[in-house]
Amino acid sequence: MATAAPVGSLFTGDDNLEPHLRSGYRTLGFWNGLLIGLALALGSWGLDAWRSTIMPSTLGSTSPLLSGAIVLAVCAFVGWLTARLSWTWFTIVAWFGVGVLAALFIGYQPYLGRTLSVWLADNRFWGVDVFPLATGSRLGLIFGGLVVIITLTVFGILQGYRLELAVGELKPNGRFSLRSWLILLVPFPFVFLAAFVTHAMQINPAAKAMSLVYEGIEVARTYEGDLFQVGLERGSNFAALRGVREELSEAYSLNMGEIDSTLSLAFVLAEFDDGTWINCRVMNDQLSFCFDAAPYYEIGLANLVSGEPPPEDCPNCVVQATDEWRTWLAQRAAQLGPQPQMERLAQWGGYVLMRVRATTGEYAIDCWFNKMSPITLERCEEVRP
């Protein structure tokens, strides 16, 4: 038989509850926080995670899942702690703080979240600022997340009342009844909607970039007609892939390249199993231009080593480098030989790791490039082949 909550104990937590109900109250607090965290995670990154599952993306769902796991853990802990302490003022302040953190987290996730995912996946990039933070103040992100902050604060105010109602609906053995679950689920749609709106309001040029490139590659690879015409019909610039159409194949993976929020610009990398390496530029949520990236890095690095100008058929294959690094590479040109071999080892964000190896295989240099327009040499180091 359900135990009714005493009217006079509303908003006072478990202090006025019988000892055998206090454990249930704290358990309800944990589940309350967990469900709020789940609503935050799904509203913020559920769509991103779903998009990644329907595309051949590399680490596409890692960042949303990792971000969601962190939010779940924080909210579950806050839910349990506030129920354990049963201090009304602390509960309100705690959920207000979670709202502020959630607003910042939603704004920073496309950058910090993706960077952390790369660090965990490839330790060569550990400590590298793969996806630099978007320009803008933390205050701006907080104002952009006011809906989430207000929503969590309101449910923080109501938490004591809701948990007392829910604990009064527990079964005699302490198990949750249907009504206790329904009481716990009351915040879910409101928090989900608040998180979804907050995420949609953030400036994130990468949000749709990968799905646009995926659609473009699939159309250019399978459609035999004019890409410009089909692009007009579907409202997308598929003609951006005309220059690389013959290089497209069925087996490939997608990865996020450089992101520039100030220009609403994002690059997406498409790696094909035959070694083809294509970068696609997306601007203002429109596919802009796709190109074979290999010559820009391979020819550009070769020219840095040899000191020769770019060939006439690739006038844009120029890599920006300081005089210090030009001199450093020139001093090692003899060890690399007349026709050193070029190899791309990895690309994450705007960073590309290239290796130039002597034809004898006895000497090699790894060089890190950053930015895609213009391509910039950041550093080089001698390595064992």
Residue pLDDT tens, the chain, 385 long: 344 443 333 344 455 555 556 778 889 999 999 999 999 999 999 988 888 888 888 887 788 888 999 999 999 999 999 998 888 899 999 999 999 999 888 888 888 888 999 999 999 999 999 998 876 556 667 777 899 999 999 999 999 999 989 888 888 777 888 999 999 999 999 999 999 998 888 777 787 888 899 999 999 998 888 898 988 888 889 999 998 999 998 899 999 988 888 788 899 999 998 888 899 999 988 999 999 988 888 888 888 888 887 777 776 778 889 999 999 999 999 898 888 888 999 999 989 999 999 988 889 999 999 987 788 999 999 988 7
Do residue 237 and residue 304 come from a single domain? no
Please give the Cα distance from 256 to 279 (Å, whole number). Answer: 10
Residue type for 181, please?
A: W
Do residue 59 and residue 186 come from a single domain? yes
Do residue 75 and residue 172 come from a single domain? yes
Residue 165 domain-assigned (yes or no):
yes
Please give the Cα distance from 73 to 69 (Å, whole number). Answer: 6
Within the chain, strands assigned E span: 252-260, 265-272, 277-283, 286-292, 341-348, 351-357, 364-372, 375-383
pLDDT for the residue numbered 307: 81
Residue 2 domain-assigned (yes or no):
no
Beta bridge partners of 256: 268
Q: Which two tokens stand for residue 335?
A: 């060890």
- CA-closest candidate to residue 28, choices 107, 74, 66, 84: 84
- How far does Cα 89 stand from its chain's mean position? 34
Please give the Cα distance from 65 to 88 (Å, whole number). Answer: 32
Do residue 287 and residue 301 come from a single domain? no
Residue 360 domain-assigned (yes or no):
yes
Do residue 40 and residue 108 come from a single domain? yes
Beta bridge partners of 266: 259, 282
Q: Which two tokens stand for residue 198?
A: 């907050």
Please give the Cα distance from 275 to 228 (Å, whole number). Answer: 27
Answer with the one of 259, 277, 292 that is the final residue of a domain.
Answer: 292
pLDDT for the residue numbered 118: 92
Do residue 52 and residue 115 come from a single domain? yes
The CA distances from residue 31 to 93, 156, 202, in Å, are 19, 14, 29
Residue 92 domain-assigned (yes or no):
yes
pLDDT for the residue numbered 137: 54
Do residue 277 and residue 348 come from a single domain? no
Do residue 12 and residue 103 come from a single domain? yes
Tell me if 240 sits within 8 A of 290, measured CB to CB.
yes
Please give the Cα distance from 257 to 279 (Å, whole number). Answer: 8
Q: Which two tokens stand for residue 36?
A: 């709020």
pLDDT for the residue numbered 8: 34
DSSP state for residue 359 in the 8-state scheme? T
Do residue 229 and residue 267 come from a single domain? yes
Do residue 301 and residue 286 come from a single domain? no
pLDDT for the residue numbered 262: 79
Please give the Cα distance from 376 to 181 (Å, whole number). Answer: 56
Answer with the one of 201, 217, 237 that is the final residue of a domain.
Answer: 201
Beta-carbon-side half-sphere exposure of residue 72 (alpha carbons within 13 Å): 13
pLDDT for the residue numbered 280: 93
Domain that includes residue 228, residue range = 209-292
Residue 114 domain-assigned (yes or no):
yes
Do residue 12 and residue 115 come from a single domain? yes
Residue 282 domain-assigned (yes or no):
yes
Residue 311 domain-assigned (yes or no):
yes
**Total domain count, the chain:** 3
- Backbone φ, ψ for residue 364 (5° rounding): -150, 155
pLDDT for the residue numbered 285: 87
Residue 1 domain-assigned (yes or no):
no
Report CA Rg, the chain. 27
pLDDT for the residue numbered 6: 38
Answer with the one of 241, 260, 292 that is the final residue of a domain.
Answer: 292
Do residue 70 and residue 21 come from a single domain? yes
- CA-closest candidate to residue 317, choices 342, 299, 341: 299
